[in-house]
Structure 1
């Protein structure tokens, strides 16, 4: 399954492990074991790099929550649980879309509850390619 691509999709995911390696004292991430052990209904916070129409700063960076739907090879399929601030509402990149991600992208975790487990069982507004 292909990962989101900045030039194809207009956004991609940044690697949280790289941020942590660059600044381990100030950029905390959950343990690798926790990031590899997510279950449907868990929420994972990811860093999104988004292409924007600004010559001086062509990319926006947003930290947003993704609801884990299922485990797949090399990671997870989730549903975006936030609306990005840097782009106008659209059908391709907005809350409710499905996206793949891996443990390396996870910078925080919020454990599931009955409500999020039920939400994870519902289909996304738009499936990943």
Structure 2
């Protein structure tokens, strides 16, 4: 089964808040003997959807941003075996064994949960955000809507899911300006595509409805 190494910077460009890449601080620490994780991608997707394996490689040579190493995993399906020599670049490294100083940011993107309508996920667009008190650990209290949902849609809990805030930030990260504002607060997108705070939002109707 033929394969290639994925470019993690391209993957991060597509999903900047949900696809982690090691910081330059971590990459600069790498030395011979360290383990790094690479994504081995099949050139043809299998019938059951299999298309890639993430595996560790032990570095044996470093030449600036080019590396050589030995595979440290036993592949699940790929035509490789533990100990095989792998040549790769810094652009192929998706993880290391070092603690990353940026991990707190990534923990926020992955672990902070928001309630979002299916319409947002289908349209990849959101125009209204409301923050209530959190109900459980990890729940940010934010509810996110496309703005096209009608009353019947909003009354059906099956139309909503809880996801990581990183998915929403991939769509529009301008909300980072106010995402830490405490409840109760509500924001709406204006005709210019910018979010503004709704100062006269009817909280009595919302809380008692």
TM-score (norm 1): 0.65
Residue 28 (structure 1) aligned to one of 17, 20, 44? 20
Find the aligned partners of 2:84 and 2:17 in 1 and give their Cα distance. 33
- In terms of fraction of residues, the more helix-rich structure is 2
| Structure number, greater radius of gyration | 2
Q: Which runs of 5+ in 1 are unaligned?
A: 1-8, 112-129
2:94, 2:34 → 1: CA distance?
13
Does the aligned pair in 1 maintain the 2:73–2:82 contact within 8 Å? yes
Higher RCO (C-alpha under 8 Å, 6+ residues apart): 1
Matches within 5 A, 1:109-124: 109-111=96-98
Q: Which residue of 1 aligns with 2:75?
A: 84
Listed one character per residue, the Cα deviations across residues 60-90 of structure 1 (whole Å, up to 9, x for unaligned) are 2011100011113641100001111124xx6
Residue number in structure 1 paired with 2:84: 97
Q: Which deviates further from its counterpart, 32-41 or 72-81?
A: 32-41
Residue pair 1:44, 1:66 contacting (<8 A) in 2 also: yes
Runs of 4+ in 1 over 6 A off after TM superposition: none
Which structure 2 segments of 5+ residues have no match?
A: 99-209
Shift of 1:22: 0.9
1:37-116 to 2 correspondence within 5 Å?
37-51=29-43, 54=46, 56=47, 60-72=51-63, 74-87=65-78, 93-111=80-98
For residue 35 of structure 1, report the CA deviation from its aligned partner.
2.5
- Tell me, yes or no, if the aligned pair for 2:45 and 2:51 is still in contact at 8 Å: no
